[in-house]
Amino acid sequence: NQQILLANRPEGLPTKETFEFREIPIEKPKDGQVVVKTLYLSVDPYMRGRMNAGKSYVEPYAINAPISGGIVGEIVESRSEKLKAGDKVQGSLNWQLYNTVDAAAVRKIENTNVPLSAYLSVLGMTGLTAYFGLLDIGQPKEGETVVVSGAAGAVGSTVGQIAKIKGAKVVGIAGSDEKIKYLENELGFDKGINYKTTDHLQKALEEACPNGVDVYFDNVGGSVSDAVLNCLNDFARIPLCGAISSYNADENEDFGPRIQPKLLKTHSMIKGFIVGDYSNDFARGIQDLAEWLSQGKLKYKETIVEGFENVPDAFLGLFEGKNLGKQLVKVSEP
Ligand code: NDP
């Protein structure tokens, strides 16, 4: 067995030295426990926040302790009546090849008609984040204009498609021409804007959104959001989902967006949310997402890196925009 520990708290961008691999035995299961073999492991931007000390909505990772996150795995040994060897499960588990946990720590995956990895992407945490943030806070109406940043990532690509399903016009902001092509040609976005190459993001947005912006789903913060917030219509809604542009910044650093006058002038509403706020409604979200998937209204991509040894690289790649759709690591075959 092997695990990945947090070796130290990174300052700025983490490096390979932030992580340490350690050999450990596979723990024997006690009564009520199961041994889960990791098949797919999710790396997520929020994990960067957990590498810092200090209180947030989830506990910080401890130094010299395993990092944890979303995992899809297979039961290889069971001492619980609830699960048997061969069952596929998902849960928040340690970054290990094998986890020995109480059966209640994982949920069985009943529907195996979709690829298992989807339970860490479009039918998992990121799909639900898009679904609840957009529909509950953004509330896009037919004919309105929705702008989403981080548009080609796991959350953003789902947000844009749900907004299209609801009849909105959708503009996505992302960081490469390949991503823009994917948004426009494969996901049906009305327009994509490459924030890294455009001369003037606000002008490009004004051209792409002649009727202004009614919903801004913010995944990135910083100067991208400054530009979008200058295009708000009256009574715009802003689901504040993430701010990846500042995750590696010093907390004393001065980063945008500057929002107060912009929100005031446009009577707009911004609301931060954490996907767990909606945990009582997850079943409904998964049902709708699965239905749109089966109807072909919702598509998804995953960037899958192979091998447990590549988990740190896959995580670090998120901050370089290496992923199209959800970044996952395939750790082993079922
Ligand atoms: P993504 O799949 O979107 O991956 C991250 C992407 O962010 C990269 O591909 C990159 O794309 C972009 N990015 C990286 N650095 C910057 C930067 N400095 N400025 C602008 N864009 C950048 O990740 P997720 O879909 O998992 O997460 C998206 C956001 O949602 C994150 O901020 C995350 O923290 C947040 N989140 C919030 C949740 C909640 O409950 N509130 C739950 C899940 C996610 P590009 O090439 O376009 O730069």
ipTM above 0.95, yes or no: yes
Domains of the chain: 2-120+301-330 (3.90.180.10), 125-276 (3.40.50.720)
In this structure, which residue's CA is closest to atom 31 in ligand 1? 242
Quick: pLDDT tens for 44-75.
Answer: 999 999 999 987 788 999 999 999 999 999 99
Averaged pLDDT for residues 320-330: 98
Cα–Cα distance for residue pair 170/159, rounded to 1 Å: 9
pLDDT of residue 216: 98
Averaged pLDDT for residues 184-201: 98
Is there an atom of ligand 1 within 6 Å of 152 CB?
yes
**Cα 285 to middle of ligand 1, angstroms:** 21
Q: Are 19 and 5 spatial neighbours (Cβ–Cβ below 8 Å)?
A: yes
Q: 42, 121, 155, 159: which to mutate for ligand 1, most atoms within 8 A of CB?
A: 155
Surface-to-core class of residue 294, CB atoms within 10 Å of its CB (0-12 exposed, 13-18 middle, 19+ buried):
exposed
Tell me if residue 91 falls in helix, strand or coil: strand
Is there an atom of ligand 1 within 6 Å of 126 CB?
yes
Centre a 10 Å sphere on the Cβ of residue 26 and count the other Cβ atoms it contains: 15
pLDDT of residue 236: 98
**Cα 149 to middle of ligand 1, angstroms:** 8
**Cα 13 to middle of ligand 1, angstroms:** 15
Residue carrying the six token digits 């049902």: 287
